[in-house]
Amino acid sequence: MAMSSVSTRFLVLLQDFSAFRKISWRSAATNYHRQSRLLCHVAKEDGSLTLASLELGNNSPRRSGKSKATKLEGSFVSEMSQQGKVRAATNYKVKVVKEKKPAEIVSPLFSAKSFEELGLPDSLLDSLEREGFSVPTDVQSAAVPAIIKGHDAVIQSYTGSGKTLAYLLPILSEIGPLSGKAKSSEKRAEIQAMIVAPSRELGMQIVREVEKLLGPDHRRMVQQLVGGANRMRQEEALKKNKPAIVVGTPGRIAEISKSGRLHTHGCRFLVLDEVDELLSFNFREDIHRIIEHVGRRAGAGPKGEVDERANRQTILVSATVPFSVIRAAKSWSHEPVLVQANKVTPLDSVQTTAPAISLTPTTSEANGQIQTTIQSLPPALKHFYCISKHQHKVDALRRCVHALDAQSVIAFMNHSKQLKDVVYKLEARGMSCSELHGDLGKLGRSTVLKKFKNGEVRVLVTNELSARGLDVAECDLVVNLELPTDAVHYAHRAGRTGRLGRKGTVVTVCEESQVFIVKKMEKQLGLPFEYCEFVDGELVVTEEDKAIIRSDRNLSYRERLSCGIADIKKDDAVDLFQSMIRSRPLPSIIDFSRLFSAVAKTKQYELVLSLCKQMELQGIAHSIYTLSIVINCFCRRRKLGFAFSVLGKILKLGYEPDTVTFSTLVNGLCLEGRVSEAVVIVDRMVEMKVRPNLVTLNTLVNGLCLKDQVSEAEALVDRMGEHGCQPDPSEAEALVDRMVEHGCQPDQFTYGPILNRICKSGNTVSALDLLRKMEDKKVKPQVVTYNMIIDSLCKNGNYDEALSLFNEMEREGIKADVITYNSLIGGFCNAGRWDDGAQLLRDMITRNITPNVVTFSALIDCFVKEGKLKEAKELYNEMVPRGIDPDTITYTSLIYGLCMENRLDEANQMMDLMVSKGCEPSIVTYGTLINGYCKAKRVVDGMKLFREISLRGLVANTVTYSTLIQGFCEAGKLNVAKELFQEMVSRGVSPSVVTYGILLDGLCDNGELEEALEILEKMQKCKMGIDIGIYNIIIHGMCNARRVDDAWELFSSLLPLKGVKPDVKTYNVMIGGLCKKGSLSEADKLFRKMGEEDGTAPSECTYNTLIRAHLGGSGVATSVELIEEMKRCGFSADASTMKMVIDMLADGRLNKRFLDMLS
């Protein structure tokens, strides 16, 4: 009975139940012969696959271009020998009567010494040499000849062993420009190879490998079809480029195939990478469609006794090959072979007993999967596990990274919700890290992966998304922060390190109650999992190792101090201190001072204070040196009360504080703004005959400037150069008298804080005066001094004075730097003086002062604001040859210019380019592009871009929200605007008055006046600075709602009750409302009051509103008077007034003289 209706999914459900396998398209007799060939591969003694058996040794000729449907000679499929026996398939189990032992490849690492031995074309060999590939791996040596011979194959090898090239090389040797075949034989109109991957990251990775081999001239031969990208662009690329190779994810391939834009019936190669993942339930329907359509032409059916798959060659690839993969290979392939790292075996010779039909995997199936999992692990891996409490796992990860000195780490967790918390904790501890999960967009994921591969991110925290196919060759450590669900998942995680023969380490962090799970996986995998701890920054696995480390730490403390303790870590400092305490005789106080000083230099102030306290408990007395260090630590921790108590202790012990001790206290007081107390400390110094130094003075001057007491600071500096002057009431001046007596003279660092404060306040006159004082006191200004004044002059618009000061620098022999030129160029460009800015840029280059990104960004921004986008892009193109990387400001300016010209697609591409260059867009960049979308009435696209902001870790600001709210209001989507406003408030982003105005305007335009009035009331209760614009919106809304009386009441209360003066727009709105109501006399009174009493001149809109109202009310005479008055004011009739007059002329209500008078 024919079984043509049986679907592939039903056959998979029935697993390897032979009674139902492959019955469609065959008669019973044909099926019997088919089973006979499968069951009776009785071979000769040397029947296993080797290079020799495939005739692809060093001297083997290239195989002739036979059809893949032709039976291959010299392969493992030999004729039935007389010794072979056939058993009837009564129990429906695949069995081999005489099992052949496959020939092992002798070489432990590589079976072929070069790629030339594999029979690849010369052009492909040249490409491999160009990319640095010289020797094939063992899986490549085994797989390439088998696939070139035309066999369907299942490639199994450990992760990182080169499986991708193992199937790419034979494909490229058959199709494309590297095959060495005549172009006439190429069918560019059809896709010839389809590669399917479970994730977009793996798909993109495969595409990059193909592009490397093809070279830049033939990159269009390969096309990616991955999810998350623009589908329309992918379809256009398919139509335009006509690629020979397509790489994609199952969902997107099936989606485009259903639309009829992907023609794969003539495909010669089908590759399923990570096939064990593709067989999961999520991909079942899409994979079913791909299998049915790829390599199967329309109308393809039975061809004799064997279905030839329409010449399709199927290749399945994975690190693990469970029974489900073997079953799928037998179902989808024709006489497939199993290619492993050191052997090639007919798949039918693999003894696998089909499990009974069950919805859950049986023990035998699970064991078989685990056995294949063991083979998938890289051979150079070391496996460890450590025990940690749940709340301490992040610290365990950090200690592990430091102990192994790992530079590229992947940390796995089971759920994406917890990734952000781990990243936050690691960043708080100063470790560069990032998260990668499926919720990130395509742009975010590609950015994170690029940073990780470039070394910008040290730790990548991810979930199972990266456990398959992610190729980061430099990854040297994998950490399981959460246990994998089973041994198979452990293998895929571990395979991210130790790739291509490199060493790798896998550390599993578990809790005490989870150790039995680790032991179970250890038993299943048959691998040693060593228990480890992290002791003193090193990974130890035995008690002996711990003892060795402790003995190393017990070296003489004097030797450790003499070796240098710069940048000492906390654990090392504590250990050294303990060894010093245990030593007999006890170290001197000088040794302790050296330790405390070194720790304080690393800013571990709390640790210093703790060690000092322990030293006191040991009965070791302080010295003036240790007490001075303690004072410094207390001041740095802003604990001045404790610092003064230590100073009292110094005096009580009979020590004399030195200048450094007093300067530390002065600095602490000035940092907290207690300058008057700092002056008292200096008085105390003078009384104790401790000479204040220049550091003390500079600290005081800086403190006065921080308190905005610039005049006192200037007076202090003036008094320094005078000897024996009389003090005045100023604190600074009184202090200077005492300091000058000790010969303390000011320098450029003294004047620096004062000059900085003056320039920031914009008082350039005082800054120039102070510069002259410095010259009078023979304090030579530096380039930094001139830069501050020139920058302040440019910001105030005094460009000529700035240029004059620049020339003065040259006369004084002070060379201007790039900061000087940046200030001048930016100032001149903002003033529109392009010639002067260009001249300065030329002068800058002539003097060999390299312009930096700030220089170019300032020029590009000015060009964009002047509407000269072409010149701005030319300047941008000039940056790259000079080795200057554009920054966020540069890209934002260009995106703004493109948005202003409504070239939004180019602006979007510019942002993509920005991210690909490793430059992170700021919230201003996103806001600029969102504003462009809203102005172009593409508010939905703007909203999509807005949602990307949070995914990139940015927080939208008030301007961004306001732009989107206005866009939705103008698009008539008020509900979305209100939801966005509520989201804005709930996220803690404070709406501005402009935001409220936009929302109120939208509510009033849509007739929701009551809600607008409620919001206005809330604004008044919050005492927001409500301007006249808000009231204009409300009055206009009331007039449109025919509540003119309420509008008049609000209008009348503006000045006396609200303190807000109405402007001309307010009057226009109110007059228009009165006219609509028919109260023309009141409108005329308000019109006269507007100019005569309130002093607000009427506008053109005011006159036209009244003229139209009087014409509609038969007040032609009044209209004439208003027209004459309007013409005297220089105004004219607008379009609405002219239309009304023309309509009245047509009706005969006006004569032509009125029109002449109006025009």
- Phi and psi for 126 in degrees, rounded to 5? -65, -40
pLDDT tens track for 4-25: 333 333 333 333 333 333 333 3
Answer for the pair 330, 336: CB distance below 8 angstroms, yes or no.
yes
What pLDDT score does 225 carry? 92
Q: Are strands 533-535 and 538-540 parallel, antiparallel or unpaired?
A: antiparallel
> Would you state the structure tokens that stand for residue 626, as one six-digit string?
């240790």
Rounded CA gap, 252 and 269, in Å? 19
The answer as to whether 218 is a domain residue is yes
Whichever domain contains 976, its CATH number is 1.25.40.10
What pLDDT score does 1027 carry? 87
Whichever domain contains 171, its CATH number is 3.40.50.300
Q: Does residue 386 share a domain with residue 277? A: no
pLDDT exceeds 90 at position 557 = no
Confidence of residue 222 (pLDDT cuts 50, 70, 90): very high
What mean pLDDT do residues 435-464 have? 83
Q: How far is CA 565 from the centre of its chain?
A: 37
pLDDT exceeds 90 at position 245 = yes
- Phi and psi for 387 in degrees, rounded to 5? -105, 130
Q: How far is CA 955 from the centre of its chain?
A: 14
93-107, 175-189, 796-810, 824-838: the lowest-pLDDT one: 93-107
What pLDDT score does 133 carry? 84
Q: Does residue 381 share a domain with residue 332? A: no
pLDDT exceeds 90 at position 163 = no
pLDDT exceeds 60 at position 685 = yes
Answer for the pair 254, 282: CB distance below 8 angstroms, yes or no.
no
Q: Does residue 349 share a domain with residue 387? A: no
Confidence of residue 354 (pLDDT cuts 50, 70, 90): very low
What pLDDT score does 258 carry? 87
Count of alpha carbons within 13 Å of 629, Cβ hemisphere only?
A: 28
272-294 burial string, b = 16+ CB within 10 Å, else e? bbbbbbbbeeebeebbbbbbebb
Under DSSP, is residue 885 helix (H, G, I), strand (E, B) or coil?
Answer: coil
pLDDT tens track for 294-334: 876 444 444 433 344 446 899 999 877 778 888 888 888 88
Q: Does residue 517 share a domain with residue 466? A: yes
CA distances from 65 to 70, 148, 245, 423 (A): 10, 10, 20, 55
Q: Does residue 41 share a domain with residue 160? A: yes
The answer as to whether 809 is a domain residue is no
> Would you state the structure tokens that stand for residue 136, as one six-digit string?
């094939």
Q: Which is higher by pLDDT, 683 or 314?
A: 314
The answer as to whether 526 is a domain residue is yes
pLDDT exceeds 50 at position 289 = yes
Query: Residue 734's domain spans which residues?
Result: 656-781
Angle of helix 659-671 versus helix 675-687 axis, rounded to 10: 170
What mean pLDDT do residues 1101-1119 have? 85
Greatest mean pLDDT range, 461-465, 648-652, 879-883, 903-907: 903-907
Asked which of 1009, 1026, 1043 is the last residue of a domain, the reply is: 1026
The answer as to whether 74 is a domain residue is yes
What pLDDT score does 193 carry? 92
Rounded CA gap, 695 and 699, in Å? 6
Q: Does residue 460 share a domain with residue 320? A: no
- Phi and psi for 1113 in degrees, rounded to 5? -100, 20
Q: Does residue 382 share a domain with residue 299? A: no
CA distances from 122 to 125, 173, 179, 516 (A): 5, 10, 9, 55
Number of Cβ within 10 Å of residue 364's Cβ equals: 14
pLDDT exceeds 60 at position 99 = no
The answer as to whether 699 is a domain residue is yes
Q: Does residue 332 share a domain with residue 386? A: no
What mean pLDDT do residues 1093-1106 have? 88
Q: Does residue 217 share a domain with residue 85? A: yes
Asked which of 320, 353, 386 is the last residue of a domain, the reply is: 353
Confidence of residue 168 (pLDDT cuts 50, 70, 90): very high
Q: Is the pTM of this model over 0.85?
A: no
DSSP E strand boundaries for 683-804: none
Rounded CA gap, 194 and 254, in Å? 12
Length, in residues, of the chain? 1159
DSSP state of 691: P
> Would you state the structure tokens that stand for residue 174, as one six-digit string?
């058959």
CA 559, 565, 571, 574 dihedral sign is positive
DSSP state of 936: T
The answer as to whether 792 is a domain residue is no
Domain count along the chain: 4
pLDDT tens track for 519-531: 888 888 888 888 8
Answer for the pair 756, 702: CB distance below 8 angstroms, yes or no.
no
What pLDDT score does 44 carry? 35
Rounded CA gap, 539 and 400, in Å? 7
pLDDT exceeds 70 at position 95 = no
What mean pLDDT do residues 785-794 have? 83
Q: Considering the chain, what is the average pLDDT of its residues?
A: 76
Rounded CA gap, 747 and 693, in Å? 12
Number of Cβ within 10 Å of residue 635's Cβ equals: 23
3-state helix/strand/coil string of 770-817:
HHHHHHHCCCCCCHHHHHHHHHHHHHCCCHHHHHHHHHHHHHCCCCCC
Rounded CA gap, 1116 and 1123, in Å? 10
Q: What angle do CA 328, 330, 336 make, to 5 degrees?
A: 120
What pLDDT score does 556 carry? 62
The torsion defined by the Cα of 845, 846, 848 and 849, in degrees rounded to 10, comes to -50
What pLDDT score does 353 carry? 46
Rounded CA gap, 620 and 622, in Å? 7
Q: Does residue 210 share a domain with residue 80? A: yes
pLDDT tens track for 1024-1077: 888 888 999 999 999 988 898 998 988 888 877 778 888 999 999 999 999 888
The answer as to whether 798 is a domain residue is no
Rounded CA gap, 212 and 172, in Å? 12
What pLDDT score does 200 carry? 82
pLDDT exceeds 90 at position 478 = yes
121-130, 456-465, 467-476, 823-832: the lowest-pLDDT one: 467-476
Q: 740 burial class (0-12, 13-18, 19+ CB within 10 angstroms)?
A: middle
What pLDDT score does 597 carry? 86
Asked which of 781, 810, 827 is the last residue of a domain, the reply is: 781
pLDDT exceeds 80 at position 957 = yes
pLDDT tens track for 1075-1088: 888 888 888 888 88
pLDDT tens track for 755-765: 666 777 777 77
What pLDDT score does 480 carry? 93
> Would you state the structure tokens that stand for residue 889, as one six-digit string?
């400001």
Q: Does residue 383 share a domain with residue 342? A: no
Q: Which is higher by pLDDT, 107 or 416?
A: 416
Q: Does residue 401 share a domain with residue 285? A: no
The answer as to whether 327 is a domain residue is yes
Amino acid at 443: L
What pLDDT score does 503 carry? 80
Confidence of residue 749 (pLDDT cuts 50, 70, 90): low
